[in-house]
Structure 1
């Protein structure tokens, strides 16, 4: 009997049941996809790392080294299982020319340091897409896969190296996976050469940079080792990197993608709940007399509830199963970036198990929600149901007439708006769905705007200026600094510039163990950054520390910190805690100059009088200053550093916008179909008393339009109130050095484009749907 009831209901309400099934399916699909992406990101990186074996600690160094001194230190440090020193030949982008189908271009616009290496024997291996160790023949070259998304490089293309009067031609035979340098947020990238070709150019081209690598039984030992290594005065003219930092940089792009997809799937589940509630209540209202009859003959509440619940159980089962299957069919599209970056991996067992668990959770949530809605059956009494046909709105007040206001408002507008305001609950589904559609569109759009904005540089430890100049660490550091300073002082196009130098001092963490602290000093140091608490340092005895450092040493603004440098100790007051994703998130800012300490890096932030000349001036300075000094317009610096994240996020933003608009349109169509069916008698009465079809159409257009405007405005308001909080919660969980961001909105998209597109589509489908009123026959409706 239950099956017969469900079958008849499906026949009677085909469109609504199909719509419900689709929403359940898509919400389950996106939730499962999010879990698959998260699981694949973790397992793919883990599998890549298991084969490639990137270092647990890496110290990059430009200049000469004493290998014997390094070996002695490594052998004397307990816990080390393996260590090696790799020589990398650094060349410049303009030295590398790519010939692609007749097109020729160089890599001069890449801000990453380009290193030429040969394959290692055991660890830190460069792999192909199948996670196999790449072995090249003479004349072949392996190109880092991250460059594939930045330039149109394909297998079979020619790469020509011209450096120090030496010219060599190579054929691209592999895109290599580099476990430790596979992100645009890394400072370098590596091209792989055969041993023969590497031997031909070794010590003849470019500049040597050494990768000093160490491995431990426990990867968490890397942080303590870094402090010991740096304090031993071993080679360190370059970035020091730990295993945790390598992992976070590798996963950043996919972490952001997973977050957006999870957000969209949660919003879709909410839409499904709204639709379920609407259809359940519509069904109960239609069958109120039948419900009263069942109660009158003694059928218990649970039995009556199960008659209706069986349909939603069936829909939920079908929706989750179909969504699960669809998710696996679509997973190839959404995990393409993971496959490209970390290798072609099959869906892991972890992804399958977690997706099954999540699918069950979605089903469970839908059924629990349905049971909650169906509790309303308890409120229905036999008398109300059979005599008045009203069991759910017993407490509803009579609608105030308001027709006396018709002199101030046209009748159609009056009839349309009075129903919206006096019977708002009848239209709440469109209102709620439009709020969700707006959130689905605006939160990802604002997140993308934030990543692409020049202001994002403040989360990378720098102030917002026009041009960023960095003097690379090396033997000619001081010479490069003087050269840059001289050029900037004599250039009249500059409005002002700030200079900073990075030094290393010692302090103590929360366990009273000595740790290194990297401080950027300068008059303007710390200004314009985003502070979680406190402010930039103003006095010489003040210091601002990054969020990760504050967490490590357990200090807050106002607390004192003792810094050890040059054989002395000096007490500083922490002025503020800021956010930084550079250098692993462990940095500090101070106006104190730390006289006597060697500089590890110099940087300059420059503002020009004429912003139109930024690109031109950056190129001019780059040519004057030459090698060893990078000059980047701030916008280009952001684009290249976060380019991978932005490209992936753009795809998701477009997809979620289309989904959001589609949901709003589909729900509006389904709602209006049900509404028109329910309002047949009212429409007949309106026609009978002299209203034309165009009047009735206009009234429904007004009702839909007013509710839509209210929903869109509420969505924009809610986005501004909670959008940032949602993003910040995800960032805190991700642990990338940023806990709070101020989302940067695009006013045109938020207040013009999004509302106009949503309103336009809704009014169009409403107008099309209202044409069906012409088919209504007054006499037949009244007879019914």
Structure 2
């Protein structure tokens, strides 16, 4: 009997039940897919790290090293279990030419620092897609997946190295997985050579750099090792990276994708609940007499409830099972980036288990919500149901005709707007669904726009200028600094520039310990950055701390902090807390000159005159200044650094926008069909007193249009307020050095394209549905 009831109900309300099933299956697919992506990301990285074994602490160094001093320090540090120093050959992109079947090009536009390396013995290994240690023969080369994705390089292509009068050609044999440098945000990448080829080129081309790597009993001890290492005055002419930052940078692109997918799936689950409520209440209203009869003959509430619940159980079970199968079928598409970056390890058992749990949770949520709605049956009175015919809705308030106002507003517009205004609860489903559709479109779009915007550089520890010049530490630091100053002062196209000098001091941390602070000092230091509290330093005794450094030292805006340098202590005031993802997020800004301290590096931010080609100027300066100085157009620097994240986001944005639009259209059609069936008597009355079909069509277009416009406006408001809160909540636990991001919206998309597209499509489908009204036959 139960299955007969389900089958009859499904046949009777085909359109409603199909729409309901579609929303349930879509929400299940996205929820399960986001869980699959999240678990697959972390298990794939973990599997890669298990074989590749990246270091817990990495110090890059350009210049001469004393390996005996490094060995002495590492052996004396209690928590260090293993250490090694890898020699690399730094080369420039213009020295590498890719020769394919149909074209050849060099890598001169790459913002990544490129190094040639040979394979390590046991740790920090470069692997193939099957997580096997890559072994190359003479004349073969392994290209990182990062460069493959950027340039479309293929196996079998040739790489020609031309540097310092040496020319050597290699054939690409493998695409390698680099556990440390697999993200554009890492700023460096490694190309693998055969040992003999590397030994032949070492000292002949490029410049030697060193990767000083250490392994600890606990990866969390890396920051303590960093402090001890820096205080020991060991080689540190380069970036310092810890295990946590390596992991976060590796997973960042896919974590953002998972976040957007999860957000869209949650919004779809809400829509599914709205559809369940609307269809269930409509069914109960239609069958109020049957419910009254069942209560009159003594059937208990649970049995009456279960009669209606069977259908939703069947729909929910079918949608979750179908969603799980569909999620498995599309998993290869969603995990394509994960597979390319971390290797093809197949679907992990944990991924399958957690996705099953996710599907079960979606099912339980739907059933729980249905049970909550069906509790209303308890409130039904037998007399009201059988004698008075009253259902669940309270007596509606009448709509005052207001026709006297029609002098200012056409009658059809007035009637449509007043019905929506006075009976808003009856039309709220359209408003809420359009609101959710706007959120599904605008939050991912705003997130993508933020990553693409030039203003995002302020979250990366730099002010927003045209060109960023960095003078790297080394023997030529002072000479290169003077050369940069000379170029900038003699170039008439330069409007203004700011210079910053990075030094290292010690600061008082928690529990009487001292921590190292890397401070960029200069006249404009800290200006234009994104501050969580306070402001940039403007006095000599003020200092601004990055968010992570503020947490590390336990200081807030207005607090005093003791700095130790030049064998003395000096008190500074924390002027503000800013956000920064560079240098692991541990930086500081000050105007104090800190004379007498060794300079770690110099940075120049340059503004050019309006008519000047930024890219051309950067290229010319790079040729003049030579090695040891990097010259990057700011916009190009951001594009290459965040390019992988933006590319992945664009796919998700397109998918969520299509789902959002489809959602709004489908709900509008479903709602309108139900509404027309319910309003047949009212429509007949309107036609009887002389309203034409065109008039009635116009009234419904006004009703749907006005409620949709309300949903769009509220959706735009919530996308700006709620979107930022959701993203900031995720960022605050990420450990990336960013706690709060102000989403940068595209006004054309947010206020013109999205509203107009949604409104036009909704009104179009409304008009198409209303055209079928001429097939209705009315008796007056």
**Pair 1:148–1:547, CA change in 2 (3 A):** same
The equivalences for 1:374-773 within 5 A come to 374-610=374-610, 612-773=612-773
Show the counterpart of 2:280: 280
Show the counterpart of 1:368: 368
Q: Flag as ranges the 4+ runs of structure 1 deviating above 4 A.
A: none
Q: What is the SS of the residue equivalent to 1:734?
A: coil
TM normalised by structure 1 equals 0.98
Q: What is the SS of the residue equivalent to 2:353?
A: helix
| Residue 115 of structure 2 corresponds to residue 115 of structure 1 | yes
Name the CA distance, whole Å, in 2 between partners of 1:147 and 1:510: 43
Q: What is the SS of the residue equivalent to 1:172?
A: strand
Q: Deviations over 1:329-385 (max 9, x none)?
A: 111111111111111121112211211221111111111111222222223222222
Name the CA distance, whole Å, in 2 between partners of 1:479 and 1:657: 53
Choose 485-494 or 395-404, whichever is displaced more: 395-404
Q: What is the SS of the residue equivalent to 2:598?
A: coil
Which consecutive unaligned segments of at least 5 residues does structure 1 have? none
Show the counterpart of 1:23: 23
Name the CA distance, whole Å, in 1 between partners of 2:687 and 2:605: 72
Name the CA distance, whole Å, in 2 between partners of 1:213 and 1:129: 24
Which consecutive unaligned segments of at least 5 residues does structure 2 have? none
Q: What is the SS of the residue equivalent to 2:189?
A: strand
Deviation at 1:684, TM superposition (A): 2.5
Deviation at 1:567, TM superposition (A): 1.7
Q: Deviations over 1:427-477 (max 9, x none)?
A: 111100000000111111111111111111111101111111111222211
Show the counterpart of 1:80: 80
Name the CA distance, whole Å, in 2 between partners of 1:163 and 1:616: 23
Q: What is the SS of the residue equivalent to 1:149?
A: helix
Q: Quick check: 1:114–1:189 contact (8 Å CA) kept in 2?
A: yes
Name the CA distance, whole Å, in 2 between partners of 1:165 and 1:435: 64
Q: Deviations over 1:48-73 (max 9, x none)?
A: 01100111111111111111111111
Q: What is the SS of the residue equivalent to 1:393?
A: coil
Name the CA distance, whole Å, in 2 between partners of 1:409 and 1:485: 69
Q: Deviations over 1:458-507 (max 9, x none)?
A: 11101111111111222211111111111111122112110001111112
Q: Deviations over 1:231-260 (max 9, x none)?
A: 111111111111111111111111111111
Q: Quick check: 1:62–1:475 contact (8 Å CA) kept in 2?
A: no
Name the CA distance, whole Å, in 2 between partners of 1:293 and 1:398: 30
Q: What is the SS of the residue equivalent to 1:595?
A: coil
Deviation at 1:408, TM superposition (A): 2.9
Name the CA distance, whole Å, in 1 between partners of 2:611 and 2:577: 31
Q: Quick check: 2:562–2:572 contact (8 Å CA) kept in 1?
A: yes
Show the counterpart of 1:170: 170
Show the counterpart of 2:59: 59
Q: Quick check: 1:526–1:590 contact (8 Å CA) kept in 2?
A: yes
Q: Quick check: 2:187–2:641 contact (8 Å CA) kept in 1?
A: no
Q: Quick check: 1:470–1:602 contact (8 Å CA) kept in 2?
A: yes
The equivalences for 1:87-106 within 5 A come to 87-106=87-106
Show the counterpart of 1:270: 270
The equivalences for 1:280-359 within 5 A come to 280-359=280-359
Q: Quick check: 1:255–1:734 contact (8 Å CA) kept in 2?
A: no
The equivalences for 1:139-288 within 5 A come to 139-288=139-288
Deviation at 1:518, TM superposition (A): 0.6
Q: Quick check: 2:289–2:389 contact (8 Å CA) kept in 1?
A: yes
Deviation at 1:401, TM superposition (A): 2.3
Deviation at 1:309, TM superposition (A): 1.5
Name the CA distance, whole Å, in 2 between partners of 1:221 and 1:412: 72
Q: Deviations over 1:406-428 (max 9, x none)?
A: 33322222222222111111111
TM normalised by structure 2 equals 0.98
Q: What is the SS of the residue equivalent to 1:109?
A: coil
Provide the alpha-carbon RMSD of the alignment: 1.3
Q: Quick check: 2:493–2:612 contact (8 Å CA) kept in 1?
A: no
Q: What is the SS of the residue equivalent to 1:497?
A: strand
Show the counterpart of 1:124: 124
Deviation at 1:115, TM superposition (A): 0.2
Q: What is the SS of the residue equivalent to 2:182?
A: coil
Name the CA distance, whole Å, in 2 between partners of 1:240 and 1:730: 25
Q: Quick check: 1:381–1:391 contact (8 Å CA) kept in 2?
A: no
Q: Quick check: 2:28–2:323 contact (8 Å CA) kept in 1?
A: yes
Deviation at 1:554, TM superposition (A): 1.1
Deviation at 1:611, TM superposition (A): 5.4
Choose 294-303 or 110-119, whichever is displaced more: 294-303
Q: Deviations over 1:555-586 (max 9, x none)?
A: 11111111112222111111111111011111
Q: Quick check: 1:688–1:778 contact (8 Å CA) kept in 2?
A: no
Name the CA distance, whole Å, in 1 between partners of 2:445 and 2:9: 41
Deviation at 1:291, TM superposition (A): 1.6
Q: What is the SS of the residue equivalent to 1:520?
A: strand
Name the CA distance, whole Å, in 1 between partners of 2:390 and 2:23: 30
Deviation at 1:4, TM superposition (A): 2.1
The equivalences for 1:765-784 within 5 A come to 765-779=765-779
Q: What is the SS of the residue equivalent to 2:186?
A: coil
